[in-house]
Amino acid sequence: MAEKNSPSSPALTPAALTEDEILFRDNIRQFAEEKIRPLVKAMDERSMFDPGLIGQFFQLGIMGIEIPEEYGGVGGKFFESILAVEELSRVDASAGVVVDVQNTLVNNAMLRWGNEEQKKRYLPRLASSLCGAYALSEASSGSDAFALQTKAELKGNEYFLNGRKLWITNAKEAGLFVLFATVDSAAGYKGITAFVVEKEFPGFAVGKKEDKLGIRASSTCELILEDCRVPKENVLGEAGKGYKIAIETLNEGRIGIGAQMVGVARGAWEYAAKYAQERKQFGHAIADFQGVQFQLAQMATEIEAARLMVYNAARLKDAKLPFVKEAAMGKLFSSQVAERVTSLAIEIYGGYGFTKDYPVEKYWRDAKIGKIYEGTSNMQLATIAKLVLGGNNSF
C-alpha cells in the first residue's frame, strides 16, 4: 500500500555530481520509488524486510558496488555506495541499511583484508546472491568495542568460537558474517581477530530478533556461538589484528550511516514541504505563513550542509586521503539534522503527523538510530576532539 501524500520528485538541490553519478543516482531513485515505496508501510508494521527486495538489490548491482568486475561486481566507487544508501533511505531507512552494511562494512572488509583465496571464494557470491553482516557488538561491548567476551580457540585446523553477539544488522538475511572474537584475552585488544563465518557452520545460530523503535524492517538479532567451528583459513587478515580491521572498517561505515541520515531527512522534508502547500488554515496554505516557510528553509539548509559533509568524506575516501575526522563529523551532524528535521516534519503535519496513517512519524522513528549505531554521537565527538586538538589545533 502506497503511503499517503507520497512526494513525486525531490525538491532539494543536490551537491555537484558527475553525469555518470547523476544517472546512477536517478536509477536508484526510480527503483526506490517504484519497487520499495509501495512496501514500506507493510514492512514497518510487520517488522520484516520483504525477501524479494534483496534479490532485486542483487539484480540491480547495488550489493557489490565496489567489488571489481573480475569478481562479478560493478567495479564502482565508494561514493556510489553512498549515493545508493542515501536514495534508498529517502524512501526507507531499512532498505538503506541493508545495502549500507553489505557495501561499506562486509564487502569493504573483504576487499581490504581478504587474501586472494578468500576473495575468489566470497566476493562473487557477495556480488550476486550472498547477503553479509558485521558482528562486533556484545552485551558488554558497545562503545568499548574491544571489551569482547566471545572467545576463539585454535584446535588443529579449526577455531572453536564461543559467545554471544548482539545488535547484528542483517542477521536474518545474511549468509556470511564478518565476526570478531578474541584468541587471547590476556592480550587485550591485540587478541581480537576477525573471522569469516558462514551461517551453515556447525555451532552457529541466529537468535532473538529485536523489536525496535525504528528501522523495524531491518533485522537486528543476537548471534549464538556454541563451539562454532571455523576453518583456520577463514581468519580475515591476521590473528590478533582484528582491532585494526574493526576500527578502519567502521571509519568508512560511518560515512554510510551519514548518507542514511541525509536520506531520512530528505524524505521527511519532501513530505513536509508538499503537505505545507496543501494544508489550508485561515484561508491560506500553511506554506504561505512565514513561520512555516522559515522552518522549511532552515530544514533544507541543514540537510544540504549535512549532505555536503557526507559527500566530502566519501570523496576523500575515494581519493585515498585522510577522512576519519570528516567521517565522524558527517555522521555526527547528519544524525542531528535527521532528528531535528523529522521532528519538525511531524509538527508541520500537526495532529496528522502524530498518527501512523501518515509517513512522517516513521521517518522520526528511523532517525533516532543514527545517533547510536556505528559509534554513538559521544564517540564521534571524542574522535573529532582528538583529531582537532591533538596536533596543531588547526583544521
- Number of neighbouring beta carbons within 10 Å of residue 340: 16
Instruction: Compute the distance between CA of residue 364 and CA of residue 360 in angstroms, rounded to an integer.
Output: 6
Distances (CA, A) of 173 to 102, 206, 225, 228: 11, 10, 18, 19
Tell me which DSSP letter residue 383 carries. H
User: Max CA-CA distance within the chain?
Assistant: 79
The number of residues in the chain equals 395
Output the nine-digit C-alpha cell for 241. Answer: 589484528
Q: Which of 138, 326, 339, 374 is catalytic?
A: 374
Output the nine-digit C-alpha cell for 104. Answer: 561499506
| Grid cell 582528538 in the structure block, residue | 386
* Full DSSP string of 5-60: T--SS--SPPPP--HHHHHHHHHHHHHIIIIIGGGHHHHHHHT---HHHHHHHHHH
374 is catalytic: yes
| Grid cell 587478541 in the structure block, residue | 191
Q: Is 109 within 8 Å of 245 (Cβ atoms)?
A: yes
Q: Is 235 helix (H, G, I), strand (E, B) or coil?
A: strand
Rounded to a whole number, what is the distance in angstroms from the first to the last CA of the chain? 48
Q: Is 350 within 8 Å of 360 (Cβ atoms)?
A: no
Instruction: Compute the distance between CA of residue 270 and CA of residue 285 in angstroms, rounded to an integer.
Output: 16
* Full DSSP string of 278-318: H-EETTEEGGGSHHHHHHHHHHHHHHHHHHHHHHHHHHHHH
One-letter amino acid of 305: A
Instruction: Compute the distance between CA of residue 41 and CA of residue 26 in angstroms, rounded to an integer.
Output: 23
Residue 309's nearest CA partner among 283, 290, 328 is 328
Catalytic residues: 374
